[in-house]
């Protein structure tokens, strides 16, 4: 019996939530795309160094929150633009929607196409549903535990690469950390013959890793709304991911390490991190 077939999971209308997450992501993405095409008139605020928020982020998150609350009023909600002041008790809620309305806001505001809508759903503390919608390409990446991962209707498979020399590694970094926390890793990666790409959207690069377009993804600190959907995608595509939710990761963030199973041991060794349990 799979996890989703157990009575406790079935009782939360798993299939309905999975379908709703896909529908909401597409609707929200289409709205965000309309605003992207008129981004010159958007109000923009600075939350921190290289950290921006626009009226588009807030409007799209509000649109998603309303749709979720109308369908499932008892579900909890954690969105990037409304995360401040969220109670630590959130992690004990039965169902939590974890949402980034526009992951890649800097790209969005500067006319680049590396942004997306990311929706992850936790059930009893486990990420079971993940949806990443890229409005610019029209690609809908989606996965549910035990159901596999897909882009549209095409199954996804993580890269079979055994070495960092066999493809591009997605990386991310934010100024929440000092550069010294990240630069040594890049030196080791390049020294081992690897190459990296950073497009500005962790959710989108995790989706690409699940699709085998990237050999993996690493970021020394990332927030839950940027990666929970991607974690489900990676697992269901046959990849491996560190235990992101450990030690309060839902509200405080954590490192993310994700790749195909053949590469994962070498990648974690290259990062020079302490052993992390694989979820």
Query: Mean pLDDT of all residues in the chain?
Result: 88
pLDDT digits (tens, 9 = 90+) for 3-15: 444 434 446 799 9
* pLDDT, position 276: 42
Residue 194's domain comprises 164-271
Instruction: Tell me which residue has tokens 């709205």.
Output: 31
Final residue before a domain boundary, out of 155, 174, 203 = 155
Quick one: 185 and 139 in the same domain? no
Q: For residue 113, tell me if it sits in a domain.
A: yes
pLDDT level of residue 49 (50, 70, 90 thresholds): very low
pLDDT of residue 159: 98
Cα–Cα distance for residue pair 125/31, rounded to 1 Å: 30
276 found inside a domain: no
pLDDT given for residue 234 in this prediction:
98
Model pLDDT, residue 44: 63
Least confident of 27-36, 73-82, 122-131, 170-179: 170-179
Is pLDDT above 60 for 203?
A: yes
Q: Do 74 and 182 sit in the same domain of this protein?
A: no
The pLDDT of 218-247, averaged and rounded, is 97
Tell me, yes or no, whether 138 and 52 share the same domain: yes
The predicted pLDDT at position 172 comes to 93
Where residue 251 falls among pLDDT bands split at 50, 70, 90? Answer: very high
How much is the pLDDT for 175?
Answer: 74
CATH number at residue 190: 3.40.190.80
pLDDT at residue 86 in the model:
72
Q: Say what the pLDDT of residue 277 is.
A: 43
Whether 64 is covered by a domain: the verdict is yes
Q: Report the percent of the chain where pLDDT is more than 70.
A: 88
Question: Tokens in use for 254?
Answer: 């954590």
Rounded Cα–Cα distance for residues 195 and 186 (Å):
9
Q: Does one domain contain both 34 and 151?
A: yes
Same domain, 144 and 89: yes
Q: How many domains does the chain have?
A: 2
Q: Stretch 184-208: mean pLDDT, rounded?
A: 94
- Given 155, 188, 221, which residue is the final one in a domain? 155
132-189 per-position pLDDT tens digit: 999 999 999 999 999 999 999 999 999 999 999 999 999 998 777 777 778 889 999 9
Looking at the structure, tell me whether residues 247 and 137 fall in a common domain. Answer: no
Q: Is residue 119 part of a domain?
A: yes
Q: Pick the residue with more confidence: 247 or 38?
A: 247
Give pLDDT, residue 10. Answer: 47
Q: Are 127 and 174 within one domain?
A: no
Question: Taking residues 200-217, what's their average pLDDT?
Answer: 97
Closest CA to 136 of 7, 36, 48: 36
Structure tokens at 21: 């997450």
Q: Which of 129, 155, 181 is the last residue of a domain?
A: 155
CATH number at residue 74: 3.30.540.10
Is the pLDDT confidence value at 130 over 60?
Answer: yes
183 Cβ neighbours under 8 A, 6+ residues apart: none
Residue 206 · residue 230 · CB < 8 Å: yes
The strand pairing partners of 131, in sequence order, are 119, 142
Contacts 24+ apart (CB under 8 A), 92-98: 92/125, 94/12, 94/123, 94/124, 95/12, 95/17, 95/121, 95/122, 95/123, 96/121, 96/122, 96/250, 97/21, 97/64, 97/68, 97/121, 98/122, 98/127, 98/224, 98/225, 98/228, 98/229, 98/250
Statement to judge: residues 11 and 142 lie in one domain: yes
pLDDT over 50 (residue 20)? yes
The pTM of this model reads 0.89
* Residue 278 included in any domain: no
Query: Looking at the structure, do residues 86 and 112 belong to the same domain, yes or no?
Result: yes
Asked if residue 101 and residue 10 are part of one domain, the reply reads yes
Rg (CA), the chain: 18
Per-residue model confidence as pLDDT tens digits over 58-107: 899 999 999 999 999 999 999 987 765 676 778 789 999 999 999 998 89
Those residues whose C-beta lies under 8 Å from the C-beta of residue 208, and which sit 6 or more positions away, are: 170, 214
Residues 132 and 224 occupy one common structural domain: no
Both structure tokens of 187: 């030196």
Any domain includes 7? yes
Task: Indicate whether 128 and 11 sit together in one domain.
Answer: yes
């Amino acid at each position: 019996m799979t996890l989703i077939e157990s009575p406790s999971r079935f009782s939360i209308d798993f299939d309905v939530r999975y379908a709703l997450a896909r529908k909401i992501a597409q609707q929200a993405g289409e709205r965000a795309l309309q605003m992207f095409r008129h981004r010159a008139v958007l109000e923009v605020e600075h939350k921190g160094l290289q950290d921006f928020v626009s009226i588009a982020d807030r409007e799209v998150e509000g649109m998603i929150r309303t749709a979720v609350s109308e369908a499932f009023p008892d579900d909890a909600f954690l969105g990037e633009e409304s995360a401040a002041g969220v109670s630590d008790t959130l992690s004990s809620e039965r169902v939590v929607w974890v949402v980034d309305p526009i992951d890649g806001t800097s790209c969005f505001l500067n006319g680049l196409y590396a942004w997306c809508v990311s929706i992850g759903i936790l059930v009893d503390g486990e990420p079971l549903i993940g949806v990443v919608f890229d409005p610019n390409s029209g690609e809908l990446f989606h996965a549910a535990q035990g159901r596999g991962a897909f882009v549209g209707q095409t199954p996804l498979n993580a890269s079979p690469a055994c070495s960092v020399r066999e493809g591009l590694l997605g990386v991310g970094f934010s100024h929440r950390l000092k550069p010294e926390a990240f630069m040594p890793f890049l030196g080791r990666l390049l020294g081992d013959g690897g190459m990296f790409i950073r497009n500005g959207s962790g959710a989108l690069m995790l989706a690409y890793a699940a699709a085998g377009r990237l050999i993996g993804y690493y970021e020394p600190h990332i927030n839950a709304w940027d990666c929970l959907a991607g974690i489900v995608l990676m697992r269901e595509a046959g990849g491996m991911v560190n235990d992101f939710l450990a030690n309060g990761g839902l509200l405080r963030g954590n490192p993310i390490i994700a790749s195909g199973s053949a590469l994962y041991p070498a990648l974690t060794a290259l990062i020079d991190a302490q052993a992390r349990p694989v979820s």
